[in-house]
């Protein structure tokens, strides 16, 4: 399999004042209050009917950003699942446990 070309995870949802951003560690700090994380993505909500519904927009934005933040883990788990030995139940159950945790993160649930 070819190596993925994306910013390595884990990614986190920004706690800053920009809102709706996903950050990853960059390894660089420009000042003492800099925690070394940089923006990877920004998420917006989308109302498919074209109607502006503020409550639904916030709900969609939160769901979008949780899914994006979980993307690196989901990618790695899918790739690992494809390489599991077909008859190794222990490996499969360990993989399923990690997959369950990553899916909960994608849904915005606390693990």
Task: Quick: pLDDT tens for 67-100.
Answer: 888 999 899 898 888 888 888 889 888 999 989 9
Q: Which long-range contacts (CB under 8 A, 24 or more apart) does 2-10 make?
A: 4/75, 4/79, 6/71, 6/72, 6/75, 7/40, 7/72, 8/72, 9/71, 9/72, 9/73, 9/76, 10/72, 10/73
Q: Determine the pLDDT at residue 51.
A: 60
Task: Quick: pLDDT tens for 45-72.
Answer: 665 565 656 667 777 778 888 888 899 9
Q: Determine the pLDDT at residue 55.
A: 67
Q: Determine the pLDDT at residue 35.
A: 84
């Amino acid at each position: 399999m070819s190596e993925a070309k994306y910013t390595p995870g884990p990614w986190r949802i920004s706690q800053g004042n920009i809102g709706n951003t996903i950050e990853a560690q960059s390894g660089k700090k420009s000042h003492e209050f800099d925690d070394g994380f940089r923006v990877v993505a920004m998420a917006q909500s989308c109302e498919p009917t074209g109607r502006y519904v503020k409550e639904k927009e916030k709900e969609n934005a939160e769901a979008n950003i949780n899914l994006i933040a979980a993307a690196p883990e989901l990618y790695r788990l899918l790739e690992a699942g494809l390489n599991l030995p077909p008859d190794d139940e222990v490996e499969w159950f360990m993989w399923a446990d990690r997959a369950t945790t990553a899916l909960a993160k994608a849904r915005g649930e606390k693990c």
